[in-house]
A and B are shown apart, each in its own frame.
Chain A
Amino acid sequence: MKNRPLFLFGLFLAVLTSWAGFVLGSHGQLGSLTPFFDEADGQSHPARLPGLAARGQAVYADLGCAACHTQQVRRPGFGSDQARGWGERQSVARDYIFHAQPQLGASRLGPDLMNLAGRKPQAPSAEELHRLLYTGSAAHPAFPFLYETREIAGEASRQAVRLTGAAAPKAGSEVVATERAQTLVAYLLNVNSGFEYPEARPLPAQSPASPEAKK
C-alpha cells in the first residue's frame, strides 16, 4: 500500500468492476425487454398500467407496503407460492417492464400480491380492499388517513365504504376514499401476471419465441 495513487485507483477499479458487471450487465441483459405479442389473443403482454393504477403504485411505494408484502412469485418447488394460489407461474423480468418502480419486497408477513387481480376463483373486490385498508384487521394495519369521514350532504355517496359494527361512522356521516386510496385500490386491482410467457415455463420452449426468451 506504499504507492498512494495506485491504492486509490485499485479501490476505484474494484468497485467500478462490480457495479458495471452487475448493474450494467443486467441492464444489457434485461433493459431492452419488450412486451410479448401473443398471436392467439392479438394483444401485447404485459399491458401498460392505466393512469390511475400507475399513480397507485407510487402510493404503494410511499406507504411502504413492501415491508410486509412481496410481489414476486417463485417457481414450483420454492415454498408454497403456487399452493397458496399466488400465481400459476413464476414471475419473470418481463412482468415488470411497465412498473415505474418494481416493489419486489423481501418479507412475507402478508401474502404475495404479484397476481392479486388474477386470483382464482375470485380476486378481491374494490369494496373489500377499501374495507381492509380502512379498518385493518387483527393482522393488518389500518390506513384510516387514506379515508375521509364527512357529513352526508344530501344523498349518500355511492363511493362510500360500506362499514358495519364498531367501524361504522356516526349516523349522518360516511367514510369515503381519498384520491390516494382510490389510486391504490385501482393499482391493486391491476396487478396481474396471468399471461404465460415462454420464459416462464418450467422447461425452455422448443423454439425461442423471442431473442430475450433465453433465461
Chain B
Amino acid sequence: MSTPPTQASAADASPFDGGARWPLTLLAGSALVWLVVGSLLALLTGIQLHTPSFLADCSALTHGRAQAWRETAFLYGWAGNAGVGLGLWILGRLGGHPLRALNWAVVGTVFWNLGLLFGLIGIATGSMTGFAGLQLPRAVQPVLVAAFCAMALPGVLAWAGRKREGTYAAQWYAAAALFLLPWFWTATQAVLLWSPLRGVVQTVAASWHAQSVVALWLMPLALAAAYYVIPKQTGKLLPGYDSAPLAFWTLIVVGSWTFGRHLIGGPVPAWIPTMAVVAQCLLLFHFLVIWLNFRGAFAGGSVTLQYMRFGLVAYLLTGLAETITSFRGIAVHTQFTLFGPALEALLLQGALSMFLFGGLVHQLPRVTGRHWALPSFVSGHASLVMLGVVVSVLSLGWAGLAQDALLNHSQTPFAEILVQLKMPLLLHSAGQFALLAGNVLLLVAFLRSALSCCQAEGASVLRPASSAS
C-alpha cells in the first residue's frame, strides 16, 4: 500500500474526455450513493437473520422487502451505474473519437436513477414483483429499459463508429453488455409481467433473467474495466491474449445457461439443471483464460491493482465453487442453505464490485483531470471492503455448512437451528458493517474530489493563468 492511489497524472486525461466529464461523474456519483444504500440494507438484512425482530415492525423494512431493496440497489443502482459509466468511457477512449450523443446519456442516467428511486418506494409499499433479481415494480421496468437505451447509446455509437479496425477485449465486453440488456430485459418483462407464462415456467424465465443480468450485463462491464485498466496500470501487455476472443464468446453463449444450478431437484424440466452443469464446465475455459490474461495484476502495488487482484481471485473461486455445487451430489448438501448467499456474495461483492472499484479509482482522476482528494480514504476503503468480503463470505459459508447438517440430516427444529447459527451470522453482520464503513469512505472521498474539481473549475474561469497546476 506504499503507492498512493492517485498516481494518475492529470496529463493522462485525454482530450476525448472533456465533454464526458460531467456525464461520467454523474454516473459514478449515482453508483456510489446506491452502493451506500445497498450496503446499509445488506447490514440490516444481515442483522435480521440472527435477530428476526430487528425493525420488523416497519412494513417497509420487513425482511423480504429489505432483501428486495438491497438486491435492487446493488445490482441496478450500484453496479449498473458504475458499469455503464466505465463501459462508455472505455468505448470512447478505445474507439478513437470523443463520445457522441452524451446528452442522451445524461437524460438516460437521470431517468434511470429516478426510476430506481420510485422502484424502491414501490418495493417498500408492496408492489415488488416477487421474482428474485427482478423485484422492481412492473410500472417502472419499461421506463428503466428506455432510460438504459439512452444511457447506452453513446457507447454503441462509439463501438459502431470506431476509428481503428482492430479492437480490444475491453471493447467487446463493454459493447456486448450495453447492447444486450434491453433485448433480454424486454423479453423477460413480456413473459413475466405483461402476459405471464403459466406456473413454474415463470420461475424458469425469472431465474434465466437473474442469471443473465449478472453474466451478460454486469460482469462483462466489470471485465471490460479490468481488461482496460490492468495493462494501463502494469504497463505490460496481457499474457495469453490470443485466447481472449474464445473466452468472451464462451461467456456470451453459455453464461446464461447456468441458472439451472439453483433448480436442482425442483419442479422444472430435468434437462435444465443438466444444461447448467454442462455450461459450468464449459465456463471453466473462460475462467482459465481470465486468469491467464489478468495474472499480471499480481505485480505492482497500486490500490487499483489491489482491487483487481482481489476481484480476479474471487471471480475464479466463484467459478470453481459454482461448478462444483452444480453437481447433484454436492447440491443436495448446499441447496437452500446459506452456502448459496455465500457464493453470491463472493461473486457480487468479491468479484464484480472489486473490478468496478478498480475501474472507478483508475477512471475518476483521468476524467476530471484531478487526483483523488483524500487518497487515504481510498486505501482505507480497499482494506475495509476486502476484509468485509472475506469475513462475510467465510461466515456465510460456515453457516451454510452447519445448516447442511442441521437441516438435511436431522430433524432439528428451526428455532434451534437458528440458535446454532448465531455465531456465524453475527460475524456476517460484522463483515457487512466493514463493507458499509468502507463504502461510506469511498463516497466521501468521491464527493470531496468532485467538489474540489468544481471549485477549481470555477477558479479557473476567474484566473485562467493559474489553473494549470
Tally the A-B contacts, defined by beta carbons under 8 Å. Answer: 215
Kindly specify which of B25-33, B62-70, B233-241 makes contact with the partner chain: B62-70
A33 to B200, alpha carbons, bound, how many Å? 11
A107 to B265, alpha carbons, bound, how many Å? 14
Residues of chain A from 15 to 70 with CB closer than 8 A to chain B in the complex = 15-19, 22-23, 25-27, 29-31, 33, 61-68, 70
Q: Provide the residues of chain A in CB contact with B167, threshold 8 Å.
A: 1-2
Q: Provide the residues of chain B in CB contact with A8, threshold 8 Å.
A: 175, 179
Residue of B68, B245, B262, B265 contacting most chain A CB atoms (<10 Å):
B265
Q: List 14 A-B contacts (CB under 8 A).
A: A1-B171, A1-B172, A14-B249, A15-B216, A19-B187, A22-B256, A27-B198, A30-B200, A65-B64, A66-B64, A75-B265, A102-B199, A105-B336, A141-B56
A91-105 to B contact mask, C-beta < 8 Å, 1/0? 111111111111111
A182 close to B (CB within 8 Å): no
Given A61-B130, A74-B266, A96-B200, are A23 and B56 also a contact pair (CB < 8 Å)? no
A158 close to B (CB within 8 Å): no
Is the pair A145, B265 in contact by a Cβ cutoff of 8 Å?
no
Q: Count the B residues whose beta carbon is within 8 Å of the partner chain — how many? A: 82
B414 close to A (CB within 8 Å): yes
Closest B residue to A145 by beta carbon equals B59
Q: Provide the residues of chain A in CB contact with B340, threshold 8 Å.
A: 106-107
Show the binding face of B for A, using Cβ within 8 Å. 48-49, 52-53, 56-59, 62-65, 67-68, 126-130, 132, 159-160, 165-167, 171-172, 175-176, 179-180, 183-184, 187, 191, 196-205, 208, 212, 216, 245, 249, 252-254, 256-257, 259, 262-263, 265-270, 272, 275, 332, 335-338, 340-341, 403, 407-411, 414-415, 418
Closest B residue to A138 by beta carbon equals B415
Is the pair B52, A141 in contact by a Cβ cutoff of 8 Å?
yes
For the complex with contacts A22-B259, A25-B269, A108-B403, 15 further pairs of A-B residues with Cβ separation under 8 Å are A11-B176, A15-B184, A15-B252, A23-B197, A23-B205, A27-B197, A27-B201, A63-B62, A64-B128, A66-B64, A66-B130, A79-B407, A102-B199, A107-B337, A142-B53
Is the pair B253, A14 in contact by a Cβ cutoff of 8 Å?
yes
Contact of A138 among B59, B197, B403, B418 (CB under 8 A): B418
Given A30-B199, A30-B200, are A64 and B52 also a contact pair (CB < 8 Å)? no
Is the pair A96, B199 in contact by a Cβ cutoff of 8 Å?
yes
Residue of A2, A4, A17, A79 contacting most chain B CB atoms (<10 Å):
A79
Determine how close the nearest CB of chain B comes to the CB of A201; give it in whole angstroms: 14
Determine how close the nearest CB of chain A comes to the CB of B169; give it in whole angstroms: 9
Q: Provide the residues of chain B in CB contact with A97, threshold 8 Å.
A: 198-199
A215 to B265, alpha carbons, bound, how many Å? 12
Closest A residue to B160 by beta carbon equals A4
Is the pair A84, B130 in contact by a Cβ cutoff of 8 Å?
no
Closest A residue to B176 by beta carbon equals A11
Is the pair B52, A139 in contact by a Cβ cutoff of 8 Å?
yes
Is the pair A12, B200 in contact by a Cβ cutoff of 8 Å?
no
Closest B residue to A58 by beta carbon equals B130
Q: Provide the residues of chain A in CB contact with B199, threshold 8 Å.
A: 30, 33, 93-94, 96-99, 102
A15 to B130, alpha carbons, bound, how many Å? 24
Determine how close the nearest CB of chain B comes to the CB of A133; give it in whole angstroms: 11
Is the pair A31, B336 in contact by a Cβ cutoff of 8 Å?
no
Is the pair B64, A80 in contact by a Cβ cutoff of 8 Å?
no
Residue of A8, A11, A91, A137 contacting most chain B CB atoms (<10 Å):
A11
A16 to B208, alpha carbons, bound, how many Å? 12
A18 to B341, alpha carbons, bound, how many Å? 25
Given A8-B179, A15-B216, A96-B267, are A64 and B63 also a contact pair (CB < 8 Å)? yes
Residue of B52, B67, B68, B411 contacting most chain A CB atoms (<10 Å):
B52
